[in-house]
Amino acid sequence: MGNQLSFSQTEHRREEMSQNLGYRLDPRGKADGIMIIIISCVYSINVVAVLFMLWNRKYPPLKCKSPVLMACMMVAGILWFVGDIQANGHVPLEHTPLRNCKAFGVWVRILLGVCTLSTLIAMRSYGLFRVFCKNQPFRGRGLYVPYAAYCLCMLVYGIVSQVVSPSLTIHYLLHVDICYYETGFKASMFAIIWVTWLIVAILSWRIRHIKSSFNEAREMLIACTAVFVVLIFTTVMHYAVPLFPLNVRLRVLTTSFDHLATNVFWWSIMAVPIVSCLVRRDAYLEEWMDKLRQDGLQRMYDVQSPNATNNKGSSVYNRNSLFTADYARLHTEMPVPKPMNSGYPYFDPVYGAGVYPMAHTDAVLYPTAYIEEVPHHAAPQSKKKHRGNLW
């Protein structure tokens, strides 16, 4: 039987028609089925890991990894895989919903899969850049407006792709039962993906020297290297061999590399905190807190030692601590500002802008500690009301 399995009764017809048209076609078979099963099992494990991560999202070493964003990335990766199964020709399309090339090849694979995953990664990197390089919070219009603008552009791109003739974007080839991307349309897709990942690489380089407790320079180096290798391979493949879905080796390699890069990125960031939370929760929390102490950040985060126990004898940590990116932006090594006539200027995410009295020069280094020490009426008042919990 070789590579051939009874995926569809159309495989023999596909081979005959492709030979008449001068194409060499490898029938869908064992290699495709094995690849789909292996990657599906990997994503099943990933889903369990995501559920575990969300269940323990208040655990400080996991919380600092932006668990909701990481969960959304995994969902985007799964959608990308569904789109790859269709676009790379691993299963029969005829007489199935997968024959709708624009729905799965553009919306599911490109927009909800590749572009969503890439922009979430860019958003996370930009958030860390705002916190540690621009001293701005990991929230607010400055973070969400660029992301919303990108999503709007992708929505417009999808709508235009939907209304434009399939002969200019992506269309179904009946004789070989695959979806085919036109050259110009492929160029626009790759341009978007390349620009997004260049932004991620630049931001990752800019934040490579942030505090060690939050530094992911090594992880991002591994992830970006894997992604760019796969991007180069996929770009060359799509232009050098436009009908690569007809070759079993090339289509299996392309899909496998795509999702190898996705998993390398995700697990390079989340493997240590997830596994440590599972097998050595308190010991890893103590190690993580030691890094906070070395970086001078424990006072800001107010995380209790895991050696502290509750009345039931189990270890605890303070879930209501000021563990928030609003305060993380105060942790960068900034020079002490020059004093004004009345004291030192500052900006606090809760109390707003103001000036510390000259008698409290230590408040420049430990603003939250000073605010807790002064009477409530003496604390600088913000013009805006504080919204919700700082968590």
DSSP assignments along 82-94, one per residue: HHHHHHTT-S--T
Length of the chain measured in residues: 391
| Cα gap 148→143, rounded to integer Å | 9
Collapse the DSSP code of 365 into the 3-class scheme (helix H, G, I; strand E, B; otherwise coil) and give the result.
Answer: coil
Q: What is the mean pLDDT of residues 367-386?
A: 39
Q: What residues contact 212, with CB distance under 8 A and at least 6 apart? A: 291, 294, 295
Q: Which of 85-99, 164-178, 207-221, 322-336 has the lowest mean pLDDT?
A: 322-336
Q: Letter for the amino acid at 324?
A: T
Mean pLDDT of the chain: 77
**Predicted pLDDT of residue 130:** 84
Band of the pLDDT at 296, cuts 50, 70, 90?
A: low
**Predicted pLDDT of residue 215:** 73
| pLDDT at residue 354 tops 60 | no
pLDDT tens, 215-270?
Answer: 777 888 888 898 899 999 999 999 999 989 999 999 999 999 999 999 999 999 99
Q: What is the mean pLDDT of residues 270-285?
A: 93
Q: What is the mean pLDDT of residues 82-92?
A: 94
Whether 207 and 132 have beta carbons less than 8 Å apart is answered as yes
Q: Which of 105-114, 118-127, 164-173, 333-342 has the lowest mean pLDDT?
A: 333-342
**Predicted pLDDT of residue 9:** 60
**Predicted pLDDT of residue 22:** 67
Q: What are phi and psi of 272, to 5 degrees?
A: -60, -50
Token look-up 């569904």 returns 82
**Predicted pLDDT of residue 300:** 52
Q: What is the mean pLDDT of residues 35-42?
A: 97
**Predicted pLDDT of residue 239:** 92
Identify any residues that bridge with 173 across adjacent strands, giving them in sequence order: 178
| pLDDT at residue 309 tops 80 | no
Whether 351 and 382 have beta carbons less than 8 Å apart is answered as yes
Helices (H), 133-208: 141-163, 183-206
**Predicted pLDDT of residue 85:** 96
| pLDDT at residue 70 tops 90 | yes
